[in-house]
Structure 1
Amino acid sequence: MRNLLTLTLALGLAGAANAQNDATTTQAGNSHYATIEQTGVNSGINGLGFTAGAYVDQYGGNSNEAYIIQDGDANYGKIEQNGSLNHARNVAPGNAKPGIRSVGDGNAVGVYQEGSANEAATTTIGSRNQTDVVQDGDDNSANVGVSGNDGTADVDQVGDQNEMNIRGFDSASNDALSLPNSNDYVVNQEGFKNRANVMAGGSDNLITIIQDGDQNIAGRDGQAGTGFLLVDGDLNTVSVSQTGNFHRAGVSVVGDNNTSTITQN
């Protein structure tokens, strides 16, 4: 039996600069579904980070789903899931929503999953946004979309046969090879038979892929003809580091004054 919990918080224009939205959902067991929607500005920021935001914690069960949708600046969204077959993913029942969708500037989103066969998806639209995805287990997948400048996306996967995809895109045209500039994409994968794909356009981006284990793939697999590590723009830096045996890596860079390095040990 699926349990459903939806929380919607909205701020009007008057007094929005001094208001905080804070929503917390905790669910234990199987087959839960949680959605949090927030609109407005979170002014609760101090030297230690964000003091208010949206939090979903699902633990001790399987087949759970969580979605956070935020529209505004300086917001924080976080999903934590423990178990298998959990989803913080692109499509909610009846709606096209990412696990976390954040529109605005200076926002931070995070998905943390422990278990196997989990899915995570995030989309940030705006500038100076931060994305953090951590997955611990096997057969997990992460999809990260970034639209805007001066942002960071950090994906960490520990386990075997995991896959991650980072895509920089123009939110106006949905073009994966335009606009986003000065972003920092970092991928760390530890285990066997993992795959990392990145597609980014724009200039002055930094893409770092680190894989530790055996039979991992970064970018395009020349043997199977699948996967992608494609950068289109100027002054971009791509670095791939693979430690272990039987790795494959393929990078395609288009533009001027770009740097691409592949290191296999």
Structure 2
Amino acid sequence: MLCVRCQAADAQPSSVQCAVCATYPGHPRPGTDTNGAPAVLRSPVALGWATAGLFAAVGLTDLVSAVLDLRVAGLVGQMIDGEWTAGERAGGIEQLLVWTGHFWSLVYFASIVVFLVWFRRGRVNAEVFDPYGHTMRRGWAVGSWFVPFANLWLPRRVAVDTWRASASPAGWRGTWLLNLWWVTFVVDTVVSNGASRLFRRAEELDEIARAYRYVAYSELFSVVHAVIAVLFVLALTRRQDARAHQPWPPAAPGPVPDAPPPEKV
């Protein structure tokens, strides 16, 4: 029986992998040198769970911030009605919002770093599964996020190629969860930026109260996006982990032209 990983050496008697694959699971598979360096299969499980956990922490912080923002908006409304003592309570909550914002920034930055590492690892793993099923080179797994405006669709192309290449031969290839993750990401980006601009322009009390409500609503939508992002990350991680434990034939670059007929002697 051939090793289910490299499909080149005989598997060990008590395993489905050869001795090299069992000892060095990160070593390159043969025939995957399509980007100038061999694609190396590495487990995405630990990074996937770390990314999901950080996204969940970001969503939970957004939820706390939304509750606090709505409370401040209510207190500002009381000030508009003439209850000026509500201003002292609003000031205390605003200070709590500042500390919540610091914590959110820290967790959000960490989630971005870990996500990019996980996303690139998933892209490289997908190249091992299917070396010829990608429309963009592996460097775009990180670089596409930093191209202005183009980052609204280029990372999705990388994600779609990774998602499809990671499916088992008879597995589920639908991309509705990926599309839902991407749509909520784009909407969340637009809504959050709009709410931030509205908050910076608010001067009168009624404008401030309205701005706090809009910011709270945008944060609640960010919670929805965080939940979907967690589901997407865990789903892709499970797909790749399952794919890595299944045998698959090497992908072919395309039809091979017929060989010329032998010359007559």
Q: TM-score range by the shorter chain?
A: under 0.3
**Which structure dedicates a bigger proportion of its chain to strand?**
1
TM-score by length of 1: 0.22
Whose radius of gyration is greater, 1 or 2?
A: 2
Task: State the structure with bigger RCO (CA 8 A, min sep 6), 1 or 2.
Answer: 2
**Which structure dedicates a bigger proportion of its chain to helix?**
2
